[in-house]
Chains A and B, each alone.
Chain A
Amino acid sequence: MGGNAVEKHGKILVADDEPAIVELVAEILKSAGYTACTASNIKEAEGILEKEEIVLAVTDIYMPDGTGLDLARKIKSVGAKIPVIIMTGTPKSDNVRQSVNIEVDAYLIKPVGADNLLALVKELI
């Protein structure tokens, strides 16, 4: 079995409190053959990370029960090899600085373009 084939069909966590964004990102990923596991808050996202074999996480910054940066920090702190893509509509210097410190793998500014997202996903998995 080729590595690429396994990765391409891996599960990707999509966390955003805006249902329209979650749906859009999930559709883009599904169209490329990935499985999207969606969460509308940090707690749900953590639950998915525990249960599923997630190969990549795409998360919004601001959510009702915390920030996507906290989630990324948690993923990176446990030594997991899961790449993290941060999505935001309004980039702020503090968020960018934190993303650099956490060593987030990619930073996407909404509206997210399908080509851009899939290129990064392909590069990171």
Chain B
Amino acid sequence: MGETDAVLIGRARSGDRAACEELVRRTSRLVYARLYLDTGDAHSAEDLLQETYLLAFRSLHDLMDPAGFRTWLLTIARRAGVDASRRDARLKRAPPAASDTPLSAIPGAGPSPEEEVQRDELRQRVLAVLRSLPEDYRLPLTLRYIVGANAEEIGAQLGLTNGALRGLLHRGLKMLRNRLPSEFDG
């Protein structure tokens, strides 16, 4: 860890690339989790993640309070998500680019299409439940299960201590279990 976030932000403002990269390492999974929650799609989440950081470092000087960095970053991520969906909406009006080979003609390497569709459906349902949770609970859970981070990483990404994280995880997991559909029980 070494330096605190505030120090890193100060260095990043003066153009220190290493500090920027360290900030990215500390927060990218959190932002990714958030974006995945919003979009429900891993690829677009990653694209948006890059865009978010580009925007963030360009307007880093506008950040008033270094302590609010994560919140600010997530706000940018949300705006990026909103902009992206707006752009997609515009693009949909244009006809899709013609491809030489229809995607259906390529045989899938993973599980069978039916299975995949089922899993996707299930994922969307879980995501819907996660979205319905309060912000404080859903981010640790998203990080834990969707991003696959362990407790230490979650703490680093959220900037929380282990004790605080435990409480959040405990209550979040309980809420999640209560709201999840029946097939997750037992």
Asked if A pairs with B, the answer is no
